Every structure is written in structure tokens, then in C-alpha cells.
Amino acid sequence: MTLSAQENQTILTIGDQAFSSGEFWHVYNKNKHLPGFNESPEDFAERFINYKLKVVEAMDQGLDTMESFINEYEKYANDLKKAFMVDSSAIELVARQAITICSMWLRPAMFW
């Protein structure tokens, strides 16, 4: 079995929701670098399963369609977007400073 096939292999099914090995390992590897995280994959698997059970249950109850949830989710998503947005004016300022510094270093060399 190829690595790609292993990552797409379903390791957990709850109702009609299937969860892949790749999703588990992605979440595990993302968390294992956090301070205080010292769980083995086996221990983490129990928490992963419990979390997925809660998410599926909440969706079955329609909690994901409630206006309060949607508003909170959109706020969270917008906050994340802001963290990754590029401030082009700041980049332009740094680029201009770099050009100025480089031109000061290069100018004396032209007279040698």
C-alpha cells in the first residue's frame, strides 16, 4: 500500500462520517510539538475519537447550523485570516530600507 493510500485509509467511521489515517496523523503531528504534549499516538487516538464523537453528535443535533455558532465561527475565521494577511505597505518599507542599505554598501566599491 502506498503512503498516499495509507493516508486516505479510513480508520474511524461514526454514522456516515469517515475519518482518515492522514487526518489523525496531521492532528497528532501538529500537536506533538506543543509544550506539555507527551501523549503516545495510542493515547492521543482515544482523545481524537472522543472529539470526533462530540463533533458528530453536535452536528446531528444541528448545533452547527445555529446562528450563534455560525457567527462565532465566522469571527474565528476572520481573526485567523487577519493573522495571515500581508501588509504590503510594511513590506514596501522594508524593501526600500534594504535597497538603501545595499546601495550604501555598493557605492564605495564602485570607486576601487
Q: Tens digit of pLDDT for each residue in 69-84? A: 999 999 999 888 887 7
DSSP class per residue in 11-54: EEEETTEEEEHHHHHHHHHHHTTSTT----HHHHHHHHHHHHHH
pLDDT at 92: 86
Sequence ranges of the domains in the chain: 3-65
pLDDT at 46: 95
pLDDT at 58: 94
pLDDT at 2: 66
Q: Which residue ranges of the chain lie beneath pLDDT 70?
A: 1-6, 107-112
pTM higher than the cut 0.95: no
pLDDT at 103: 78
